[in-house]
Amino acid sequence: MPATGFYNVPEPQNEQILSYAPGTRERDELKQLIWDFRKNKTEIPMFIGGREVRTGKLIEINPPHDHQHILGYYHQGAEKEVGLAIDAAIKARELWSSMSWEERASIFLKAADLLSGPYRLKINAATMLGQSKNIFQAEIDAACELIDFLRYNVKFMTDLYKYQPYSPPGVWNRLELRPLEGFIFAVTPFNFTSIAGNLPTSPAIMGNVVVWKPSATQVYSAKVIMDVLREAGLPDGVINMVFVPGPVAGKTVLSHPDFSGLHYTGSTQVFQNLWKTIGQNIHQYHSYPRIVGETGGKDFVIVHESADPQQVVTAISRGAFEYQGQKCSAVSRAYIPDTLWPEIKNMLLEDIASFKMGGPEDFTNFINAVIDDHAFKRINGVIRRIKREKVAKIIAGGRSYKGTGYFIEPTVVVSSDPFYFAMQEEFFGPLLTLYIYPADKYTEALEICDKTSMYALTGSVFARKREIIELTTRKLVNAAGNFYINDKPTGAVVGQQPFGGSRGSGTNDKAGSALNLIRWVSPRSIKETFVPPINYRYPFMVER
Ligand code: NAD
């Protein structure tokens, strides 16, 4: 029987962050689970059309902070498995797109509760080991943010459904938010387990079917996401998870006539290439694909001399170096007035000297490893170049070690050129570049900040003078999609700060908001006339 009520979904609230402080139950249980995960090698299949798919081509999974240890293996696929995933998605579409919304909603609300309860420690332990995140970083990402995405998106879905047109007497106008006619390709990055979960589920919540390609370095926690969705009752074929190299997936998916949308988060270059391929193939598709992409950042902190230096330093220490700077929102350039610099410098160097670096199994470590050898080499290459060039000076860090894991010291560079490459480019590591400007040239510093980089993802101003806050907010209106006043530019919360950037940083379709969900539907207007006219003639046609 179809729905017989206008149902309200549970009002979402942000998931409470557990502390994992000494003596708490969650800490003891999590530590035990980490060691269990380390001991037992797991073998991870792809998941296509409700079936586990094994190819026998096994790829090792290693913790970035302990790269000789083997956590397990995943089965790598090729074009054939991508094709199977597309077929499975298309097959599931009829059932899924016609299922009533409250049944769909229940699945994702249940998934959120499973993550909040029985799967919480599992997804955290998998993220800590597979992506080298300390427990706090894992908890706010893999558990809390993913739970929030699921609960809030269900609520936003119903908000969108409630948006209906006006109906004058004699007519009933309705707006139906149809899922897209085809399948969605979700391509996810390594750095946030929550993003890996959100990109396939947000189109699915709106009734779409999905082929999901996680990053090769996030497969270990991607498996937990899939386990949760299966246990929550997601029908076979709605989300199909394939482990294939990006270009292999891209080639097969983007040439398929039923490709109807890309939900992407990752580097700018890959996104631009995907967009180009979509453009080249545009004549092959049944409909114009939706393209949603959140990409890189060169996120800034601009400090006015009225700022509180201690607040600035804490924001920079956390904003630049938590999760080794591998957040799209991480502070990677800052503008400091010369009058505050001596004080800020002393406190910042003191903070950095106190950071402990090592594996996340040891809860006293604040800094862990960068994701893989490729990232290690790339970031070291940048540090070597900076060391060679005269324009900038490294004042903290600059060393790295890869004996057991890919460890790079939190590194601070001071550049005398505000347009130096280290002020412009994203390196995605623990590398912060500062420019010290004359305090009486704040307006010029704002201009420089706005013009330096191609990105516009996140940024902060630190100032106590209200007129400066107002000036900065206005001047930097297009410099960041997420702008912060006296706060670090990382740590957006679902339902509070919808996330995304513009310029080179993406399409700014705000993950964790109705603005994102609306991209995954194709509205249909339905007009019903109750008593249709029976004569084509209009009154003006009569002479007298
Ligand atoms: P990446 O670009 O290396 O990979 C992203 C995804 O694209 C992966 O799944 C990868 O396998 C896939 N891919 C690579 N080449 C492909 C191809 N030719 N066809 C199809 N897929 C392909 O990025 P990453 O290292 O995983 O993540 C870091 C990047 O992500 C940074 O640039 C960061 O700023 C960005 N990021 C942005 C946001 C945001 O919301 N703006 C959030 C997180 C990460």
Q: How much distance in Å is there from the Cα of 298 to the middle of ligand 1? A: 15
| Ligand 1 and 247: CB distance under 6 A | yes
| Separation CA 421–CA 33 (nearest Å) | 43
Q: Which residue has the tokens 């999905």?
A: 210
Distance 263 CA to ligand 1 centre (A): 11
Distance 186 CA to ligand 1 centre (A): 11
Q: Is 307 helix (H, G, I), strand (E, B) or coil?
A: coil
For the residues 289-293, what does the mean pLDDT come to?
Answer: 98
Mean pLDDT calculated for residue range 174-178: 98
Of all protein residues, whose CA lies closest to atom 32 belonging to ligand 1? 267
CA of 189 to the centre of ligand 1 (A): 4
In short, whether 323's Cβ falls inside 6 Å of ligand 1 is: no
Ligand 1 atom nearest 426 alpha carbon: 32
Q: Please, which pLDDT band fits residue 13 given cuts at 50, 70 and 90?
A: very high
Ligand 1 near 457 CB (within 6 A): yes
Query: Is the beta carbon of 297 within 6 A of some atom in ligand 1?
Result: yes
Buried b (16+ CB within 10 A) or exposed e, 42-56: eebbbbbbeeebebe
Strand partners, 502: 456
| Mean pLDDT score of the chain | 98
Query: Which of 295, 372, 497, when mutated, tests ligand 1's pocket best, judged by the most ligand atoms within 8 Å of its CB?
Result: 295
Q: For the residues 126-146, what does the mean pLDDT come to?
A: 98
> Among residues of the chain, what percentage have pLDDT more than 90?
99
Ligand 1 pocket mutation, candidates 187, 225, 241, criterion most atoms within 8 A of CB: 187
Task: Show the tokens assigned to 542.
Answer: 């009569």
Match domain 25-295+506-522 to its CATH number in 3.40.605.10, 3.40.50.300, 3.30.1320.10, 1.10.940.10: 3.40.605.10
Sign of the Cα torsion 30, 34, 40, 41 reads positive
- Cβ–ligand 1 distance for 426 under 6 Å, the answer yes
User: Binning pLDDT at 50, 70 and 90, where does residue 311 land?
Assistant: very high
Q: How far is CA 231 from the centre of its chain?
A: 24
Q: What is the pLDDT of residue 317?
A: 98
The pLDDT value recorded for residue 1 is 66
Of 114, 133, 115, which is closest to residue 125 (Cα–Cα)? Answer: 133
For the record, the structure tokens of 13 come out as 């609230």
Residue 223 has pLDDT above 90, yes or no: yes
HSE, side-chain direction, 13 A CA sphere, residue 412: 24
Q: Among 131, 215, 513, which is best to mutate for testing ligand 1, by the most ligand atoms less than 8 A from CB?
A: 215
User: Is residue 3 predicted with pLDDT exceeding 90?
Assistant: no
Q: Percent helix, strand, coil in the chain (nearest 5)?
A: 40, 20, 35
Percent of the chain predicted with pLDDT > 70: 100
Q: Where are the domains of the chain?
A: 25-295+506-522, 299-485
For the segment 313-322, what is each residue's pLDDT rounded down to a tens digit?
999 999 999 9
Q: What DSSP string runs through 403-422?
A: SSS-EE--EEEEES-TTSHH
- Look at ligand 1, atom 15, and give the residue with the nearest C-alpha: 246
CA distance 25 to 56: 39
Packing angle, helices 193-205 and 120-131, rounded to 10: 130
State whether the beta carbon of 294 lies less than 6 angstroms from ligand 1. Answer: yes
Contacts of 255 (CB under 8 A, 6+ apart): 281, 284
Cβ of residue 192 lying under 6 Å from some atom of ligand 1: yes
From the number of C-beta atoms within 10 Å of its C-beta (0-12, 13-18, 19+), residue 447 rates as: middle
Determine which residue's CA is closest to atom 23 belonging to ligand 1: 266
Task: Tell the residue nearest (CA) to atom 5 of ligand 1.
Answer: 266
Between the CA of 178 and the centroid of ligand 1 the distance, in Å, is 29
- CATH classification for the domain delimited by 299-485, as one of 3.40.50.1480, 3.40.309.10, 2.60.40.10, 3.40.50.2000: 3.40.309.10
Is residue 449 part of the annotated active site? The answer reads no
Taking the CA of residue 187 as reference, the ligand 1 atom at the shortest distance is: 9
Q: State the Cα–Cα distance between residues 38 and 60, nearest whole angstrom.
A: 13
DSSP state letter for 139: I
pLDDT one-digit tens code per residue, 367-420: 999 999 999 999 999 999 999 999 999 999 999 999 999 999 999 999 999 999
Whether residue 229 contacts residue 247, with contact meaning beta carbons closer than 8 Å, is answered with no
**What string of DSSP letters covers 140-195?**
IIIIIIHHHHHHHHHHHHHHHHH------TTEEEEEEEEEPSSEEEEE--SS-HHH
* Mean local confidence (pLDDT), 451-467: 98
**Residue 129 in this model has a pLDDT that exceeds 90:** yes
Contact assessment for residue 405 and residue 367, using Cβ atoms and an 8 Å cutoff: no
Residue 55 CB contacts under 8 Å (≥ 6 apart), including other chains: 46, 75, 76, 77, 78, 81
How far, in Å, are 34, 42, 167, 456, 527 from residue 222 at the CA level?
17, 13, 46, 29, 43
Could you say which of 144, 145, 322, 328 is catalytic? 328
**322: CA distance to ligand 1 center in Å?**
19
| 293 touches 507 (CB < 8 A) | yes
Average pLDDT (482-499) is 98
**Ligand 1 atom, smallest distance to 269 CA:** 2
Q: Measured from the CB, is residue 87 less than 6 Å from ligand 1? A: no
pLDDT number for residue 544 = 82
Pocket test for ligand 1, best of 256, 326, 328 (most atoms within 8 A of CB): 328
- Work out the number of other CB atoms within 10 angstroms of the CB of residue 114: 20
458 beta partners? 482
Q: What one-character DSSP code corresponds to residue 12?
A: P
| Whether the predicted pLDDT of 2 surpasses 70 | no
Catalytic residue among 15, 139, 294, 305: 294
HSE-CB of 479 using CA atoms within 13 angstroms: 26
322 is catalytic: no
For residue 295 and ligand 1, the question of a CB distance below 6 A is answered with: yes
Distance CA 191, CA 196 (A): 9
Tokens linked to 139: 């908890």
How far apart are the C-alpha atoms of 308 and 344, rounded to whole Å? 10
